[in-house]
Structure 1
Amino acid sequence: MNPIIHLKTISEINKFVQTKTQHPLVSVVDFSASNEYLEEGIRISADFYTIMFKNYCSNQMKYGRQSIDFQDGNLICIAPKQLITLDNEIEKREDTMGWGLFFHPDLLYGTALGSKMNDYTFFSYEISEALHLSEKEKQTLYDCIQKIETELHENIDQHSQNLIVTNIELLLNYCLRYYGRQFITRKGINSNTISHVENLLKEYFRSDQIKEKGLPTVKDLAEAVHLSPNYLSDLLKKETGMNAQDHIHYYLIKEAKNILLNTNFSIGEVAFSLGFEYPQYFSKLFKQKTGHTPVEYRNLN
């Protein structure tokens, strides 16, 4: 297995793809202009954010354990420290087009975007959850890329960072919009996923798993439906108004109410039966979700 190539700086990615460094913290790469071939099985990680679009590539790319190619024109967003693998040689074709945007977290320090990056949860999606773009959407994102590239060719001055970051934020906001559209256009598939999640939670709280394993996690649910935790949570939020953690708490509180009203268990026993090691944590969550302590709820009903 090939060693991992770890790219720490923007100048290193530019050297890697053999393009000039215009700015120390951000780079735009034109994939269609590249005539280079990458070694098979190459593994890469980086200290910066990566956004890539390509309409065709004969190589398969792996991100974690997931594989995808760019045959249909997909956009992928990769957070710092993630590992990607190129399985096969890249084949040069006349109709190959695409671009890459690479920007270091240092570019965002002291900006409004820096404090908002956690809102762009798609950076933690799996490759298999890539964004599929319409022709109009491709052009809109490319327009943002062109504005960034144009600014990179200007002399760096006191306005450079603000203009570059503003256009990066615009691009990211369009990605949010397009992922929202993708959730809507896949409503049928999403409905099946939601039903699967709800059935998993119902069965989990009906069985002895809760006593043996404690509360299910968002990661548990995501693995069960073969999605990343962030993608599942965003899908549920879009379709139901509740994210994955909210769904877990909904079924937990529902089961807690059932136990409180149909048994003589002490509050501690109720908590332990629901997988809580400390009863006070259960009582705090119950009041947060219902407005009453478990004792108050039992007495009121």
Structure 2
Amino acid sequence: MSKILKIRNVGDYSQWVGHTDTHPLVSVIDYAEVSPVRHCLNNYSVYGIFFHDEANIDLAYGCGKYDYKEGTVICVAPGQIGGKEDNGELVNLTGWALLFHPDLLQGTALEKHIREYSFFDYRVNEALHMTDEEHDILVSLMRQIKDELQKKHDALQDAILVGYIELMLNFCQRFYNRQFITRKLVNSDMLMKFDQLLRDYYEEKIQLTSGMPTVQYCADKLCMSANYFGDLIKKMTGDTASNYIRQDLIQRVKNELASGASISQVAYELGFEYPQHLSRMFKKFCGYTPTDYLRQIQKKPGC
């Protein structure tokens, strides 16, 4: 069984790599100052942002593996497991780590919306790949936080630290948005795979036992986390993945109705438990009922 290091607070990780903290809730580690270090497979109860300037490490994250390359940022949140099991090997690393405990955020605006940074729930193979400019920005912020931690603690220090952390998270979000755009060709291929997945779902009659396809189902089939998949579809289409699935379903309903099937038949064929459920969803998206659509089908073929 794998030995897992429990990171209950920032000091647990700092102690492992040989770093001395000056704040109980925040730690900034310059790996060049503590290397060489041993690997560890971690169970996090803190937030963490990690990147290495020179790395080629086979990391575990959840049930998967990831080849951790230079210029890659990995973000972890409480409840996640990641890293590499300690095999006694010592590795020389350059780069940075920022760890902060959720208690630091108590009573702050960031506490309320930190989960909106969906990249904390991305899988490692969906990590951020920085440009040189982006790397320099994050290093600069790491140095500023480190400098602040070396100052004498006062009534404003925690607020300043939270401000720096929020700024870093916003930059990470900006960089991820850039990554979605620069990978446009790969992403467009993913959209085609998404469409094919929906076609296969109904052709294989999966809806008869499992109902409407879910975002989680589609993300799993496409080997993505639900958050990354949802963000990717939103960037590409301007709409949520769940709405994309529903719009696809609405078009299928229209096609079936136009071919002469009854509302009850369509509801059964597409996996609705009751025809009323189909009617409610149809009206919500189209603004009128399937019955209205049948009446107007010759005059108004679309909603």
TM-score scaled to structure 1, two decimals?
0.90
Q: Distance in 1 between matches of 2:167 and 2:94?
A: 22
Equivalent of 1:71 in 66, 69, 72:
69
- 1:80-159 residue pairs with structure 2 within 5 A? 80-87=78-85, 91-93=90-92, 96-159=93-156
In the alignment, the residues of structure 1 paired with residue 200 and residue 35 of structure 2 have an alpha-carbon distance, to the nearest angstrom, of 54
After the TM superposition, list the runs of 4 or more consecutive aligned residues in structure 1 that deviate by more than 4 angstroms: 87-91
Q: Which segment drifts farther, 172-181 or 8-17?
A: 8-17
* Pair 1:38 & 2:38 matched: yes
Distance 1:65 1:266 in 2: 43
Partner of 1:283: 279
Aligned residue identity for 2:21: T
Decide whether aligned partners of structure 1 residues 132 and 171 sit closer, same or farther in structure 2, where only a CA change above 3 A counts: same
Asked if residue 14 in structure 1 is aligned to residue 14 in structure 2, the reply is yes
State whether structure 2 residue 239 is matched by structure 1 residue 242: yes
Q: 1:48 aligns with which of 32, 46, 49?
A: 46
Matched, 1:271 2:249: no
Deviation of 1:16 (Å): 2.4
Which amino acid in the other structure matches residue 217 of structure 1?
T
How far 1:254 moved relative to its partner?
0.8
**Structure 2: tracts of 5 or more residues without a match:** 298-303
CA spacing shift, 1:26–1:50, aligned 2, 3 Å: same
Contact kept in structure 2, 1:58 and 1:90, CA below 8 Å: no
Moved more, 122-131 or 10-19: 10-19
What SS class does the counterpart of residue 254 from structure 1 fall into? helix
Distance 1:280 1:168, change over 3 A: farther
Deviations along 1:36-56, one digit per CA (max 9) or x if unpaired, are 5325xx431111111101022
- Alpha-carbon distance, 1:249 to partner: 0.8
Please give the alpha-carbon distance, in whole angstroms, between the structure 2 residues aligned to 1:264 and 1:186: 42
Q: Secondary structure at the match of 2:239?
A: coil
Following the alignment from structure 2 to structure 1, what is the Cα–Cα distance between the partners of residues 134 and 237?
26
Which is further off, 280-289 or 137-146?
A: 280-289
Contact 2:263 2:290 in 1 (8 A): no
Deviation at 1:285, TM superposition (A): 2.3
**Aligned residues: percent identity?**
36
Equivalent-residue separation in structure 1 for 2:69 and 2:32 (angstroms): 14
- The 8 Å contact of residues 58 and 89 in structure 1, kept in 2 or not, is answered as no
Post-superposition offset of 1:252: 0.9
The one-letter code matched in structure 1 to 2:32 is S
Paired residues of 1:58 and 1:91 also in contact (CA < 8 A) = no
Pairwise CA distance, 1:77: 0.7
How many residues in Structure 1 have an aligned counterpart in Structure 2? 296
Query: Is the contact between residue 57 and residue 90 of structure 1 (CA under 8 Å) also seen in structure 2?
Result: no
State the secondary structure of the residue aligned to 1:60. Answer: strand
Return the letter of the residue paired with 2:285. K
Distance 2:8 2:141 in 1: 25
- Contact between 1:49 and 1:105, CA under 8 Å: does it hold in 2? yes
Which consecutive unaligned segments of at least 5 residues does structure 1 have? none
Q: Which amino acid counterpart does residue 220 of structure 1 have in structure 2?
A: Y
Q: Give the drift of 1:209.
A: 2.1
Q: 1:255 to 1:20 in 2, by over 3 A?
A: same
Q: How far apart in 2 are the matches of 1:32 and 1:278?
A: 62
Per-residue deviation at 1:242?
A: 2.0
SS of equivalent to 1:28: strand
Q: 1:197 to 1:89 in 2, by over 3 A?
A: farther
Counterpart AA for 1:5: L
Change (3 A) 1:89 1:228: farther
The one-letter amino acid paired with 2:82 is I
| More displaced 10-residue stretch of structure 1: 178-187 or 63-72 | 63-72
Q: Distance in 2 between matches of 1:76 and 1:215?
A: 33
User: CA separation in 2, counterparts of 1:129 and 1:74?
Assistant: 10
- Aligned match of 2:295 in 289, 295, 299? 299
Distance (Å, rounded) in 1 between the aligned partners of 2:17 and 2:233 = 38
